[in-house]
Structure 1
Amino acid sequence: MDTRFLETFLAVADCGSIAEAARRLNLTPAALAQRLRVLEQDLGHTLVERAGRTVQPTAAGRAVMAHARGVVESVRDLRAIASDGVPGGLLRLGATATALTGLLPAVIERLARAHPDIDYFVQPGSSADHYHRVVDGTLDAALIVRPQFEIPKATDWLTLRVERLVLIVPEDAPDLPPDALLATYRFIRYDRAQWGGHIVDRYLRDHAIAVDEWLELDALDAIAALVNRGLGAAIVPDWAPPWPEGLRLRKIALPDGGARETGVIWQRWGPRHAAIDAFVAACRAAHPVPG
């Protein structure tokens, strides 16, 4: 059985559309449909069926899905093992929203030039979610905020950025000290459920700063856009550019404001260790930490 046909079936099941799956796999819809037919003939069962405007797995298809991903991953692991230390195969990565735009592109650019045989799957999400996915082996590595606890010995960490906390206010805000500005504007809080939000919350508590809290959310770009419209002030980490275009803000460094560390966590061992090591080396080269 050609595992590419299993990958085709999984893409159709994930997309709910033959046309969308074909675009994702860079195939024509006719070629993709032919792969499905061959797989169904090989297994002796129909795997997908029409449901209105979408395509969904049949009962047999759902049963195959339960094992197909593991089979595909195992074959990819065998290819990586057979490469004899040459970085290649599928690298499964996670990244936070700011890391996706501010850190990952330069790393992938460098890595793609040096190791063209590496393929990529990149999953967006929160630092906490990605941390657990790396620890349980679902992801090979992730760009996240450093956890405030010791990481397991099966993983390792490299800091790529130290992002100081800054107070952001509208550009036309009065020239006042940070505590006076926080008393002037409603406070837009970085979500306390996020690891970066923990650091902001600790700063407020450690400095006994009372704020007129108005809104709490986990999207830093959205927080900056709200401040830009004069709707409040916020304390955020000075994350890697790009920031949203057209913002008219003032960034004010906070005394003893603390910082969040953003970096890469990865699995130390595994069949894709050569590709993971190459990814970490590209992270280090693309984003050297001063000092």
Structure 2
Amino acid sequence: MSMDTRQLQTLLAIAEQGNFAAAARKVNLTPSAVSQQIAALEKEIGFPMFDRSRRPPALNAKGVQLLQAARTILQIVDDTRTDISGASVTGTLNIGSLRTCTVGLLPRAIADLRETYPHLTFRLTVGFSQALMSDVVSGRLDVALVAEHVGVPPSLKWTPFLSEPLVIVGPAAARRQSAQDRLTGWPYIRYRTNVPLANQIDTEISRLGLSPRDVVVVDTMPAAIECVKAGLGVSVVPLISLRDENAATLAWVPFGDPPTSRQIGTVQRMNSARSAVIETFHDALTRQAQSLQAELSAAQ
């Protein structure tokens, strides 16, 4: 029996559902039929894909490798069928994103993309750049929005779409103060977590010879902004993380000398079956990022 897409779909269902019985329900087969398909696939490729000493059986290293290939193959088959038939692009685009990009930017870009692909659905995973890139490599994500200063694996393509200014944001009472006065005259809300952005901010503060007085230490940008809104002090955040209403009620100035920024871009697999959709998505992100930055700047 030769390998076919039904076997690959069954393999994918097992990985997604966690066990053979749940996968059987998803692909409308009996558990014994699922076991037969997997046994036939293992015979075809010449090695076992599951560690059957565990309950339920778990994919081994070679099984994970084949799973990644199966995701790509099935997507290519689906996209090719769509191209030949002239049908609309369907299915799910699996997107990973930094948390800051989910405020304003990403929802707008998805809405923009749906104008071109109205039958496409989306699944969003929020996380840190390194973990998101690993998920793109493994095939769990089609594309991810990640920051610079992380090592991009050679199997991925990195394409920047936004140079994002970092700003010192404070209460309205700080509006007429200089950047240095804000960081030395107000309590400081420090963003501290194991990501490049936190290190970038701390490094620049140290280079400027400043020693802000920490009042709160947080591990998310939304938490930092909420602390500023509560009047606890000032913080350094990416401009894009400010919502429209925050930009109007809070006071911000550029951070760093010269002003500091970070790049945000998309990563995808080199031979992604979704490359056309991802290219359109990247264009939507670029347009919406420019629009959002203009709106935020106008609010000051």
TM over 0.5: yes
Q: State the Cα distance separating 1:137 from its structure 2 match.
A: 4.7
Partner of 2:190: 189
> For residues 158 and 178 of structure 1, what CA distance do their matches in structure 2 show?
28
Cα distance 1:5–1:245, how it changes in 2: closer, same or farther (>3 A)?
Answer: farther
Which stretch shows the higher mean deviation, 129-138 or 103-112?
Answer: 129-138
Q: State the Cα distance separating 1:185 from its structure 2 match.
A: 2.5
Structure 2 gaps of 5+ residues are 1-5, 37-52, 294-300
Partner of 2:149: 147
Q: State the Cα distance separating 1:60 from its structure 2 match.
A: 8.6
Cα distance 1:62–1:121, how it changes in 2: closer, same or farther (>3 A)?
Answer: farther
> For residues 76 and 289 of structure 2, what CA distance do their matches in structure 1 show?
29
Check conservation: 1:157, 1:264, Cα contact below 8 A.
yes
Q: State the Cα distance separating 1:125 from its structure 2 match.
A: 0.4
Partner of 1:275: 277
SS of 2:259's equivalent in the other structure is: coil
SS of 1:239's equivalent in the other structure is: helix
Partner of 1:215: 216
Partner of 1:253: 254
> For residues 187 and 17 of structure 2, what CA distance do their matches in structure 1 show?
47
- The one-letter code matched in structure 2 to 1:271 is A
SS of 1:230's equivalent in the other structure is: coil
Q: How many aligned positions are there?
A: 262
Q: State the Cα distance separating 1:84 from its structure 2 match.
A: 4.1
1:24-43 map, 5 Å:
38-40=29-31, 42-43=33-34
Check conservation: 1:134, 1:266, Cα contact below 8 A.
yes
Q: State the Cα distance separating 1:97 from its structure 2 match.
A: 1.0
Partner of 1:111: 113
Partner of 2:74: 75
- The one-letter code matched in structure 2 to 1:168 is V
**Aligned Cα root-mean-square deviation (Å):** 4.1
Check conservation: 1:183, 1:212, Cα contact below 8 A.
yes
Partner of 2:43: none
> For residues 10 and 137 of structure 2, what CA distance do their matches in structure 1 show?
30
Partner of 1:62: 56
SS of 2:233's equivalent in the other structure is: coil
Q: State the Cα distance separating 1:204 from its structure 2 match.
A: 0.5
Partner of 1:100: 102
> For residues 37 and 233 of structure 1, what CA distance do their matches in structure 2 show?
56
Q: State the Cα distance separating 1:81 from its structure 2 match.
A: 4.2
> For residues 33 and 134 of structure 1, what CA distance do their matches in structure 2 show?
26
> For residues 246 and 111 of structure 1, what CA distance do their matches in structure 2 show?
26
Which stretch shows the higher mean deviation, 259-268 or 60-69?
Answer: 60-69
Partner of 1:228: 229
Cα distance 1:12–1:151, how it changes in 2: closer, same or farther (>3 A)?
Answer: closer
Cα distance 1:98–1:39, how it changes in 2: closer, same or farther (>3 A)?
Answer: farther
Cα distance 1:101–1:227, how it changes in 2: closer, same or farther (>3 A)?
Answer: closer
> For residues 13 and 151 of structure 2, what CA distance do their matches in structure 1 show?
41
SS of 2:103's equivalent in the other structure is: helix
Cα displacement string for residues 122-152 of structure 1 (whole angstroms, at most 9, x for unaligned residues)? 2110123223433555433211222366774
Check conservation: 2:161, 2:285, Cα contact below 8 A.
no
Which stretch shows the higher mean deviation, 264-273 or 75-84?
Answer: 75-84
> For residues 70 and 125 of structure 2, what CA distance do their matches in structure 1 show?
18
- The one-letter code matched in structure 2 to 1:98 is T
Cα displacement string for residues 178-232 of structure 1 (whole angstroms, at most 9, x for unaligned residues)? 3233223222112252222232122212211112234332311110111222222
Check conservation: 2:184, 2:210, Cα contact below 8 A.
no
Partner of 1:27: none
Cα distance 1:7–1:245, how it changes in 2: closer, same or farther (>3 A)?
Answer: farther
SS of 1:284's equivalent in the other structure is: helix
> For residues 12 and 191 of structure 2, what CA distance do their matches in structure 1 show?
39
SS of 1:133's equivalent in the other structure is: helix
Check conservation: 1:88, 1:118, Cα contact below 8 A.
yes
Which stretch shows the higher mean deviation, 35-44 or 276-285?
Answer: 35-44
Q: State the Cα distance separating 1:7 from its structure 2 match.
A: 7.0
- The one-letter code matched in structure 2 to 1:78 is V
Structure 1 gaps of 5+ residues are 19-31, 46-58
Check conservation: 2:129, 2:147, Cα contact below 8 A.
yes
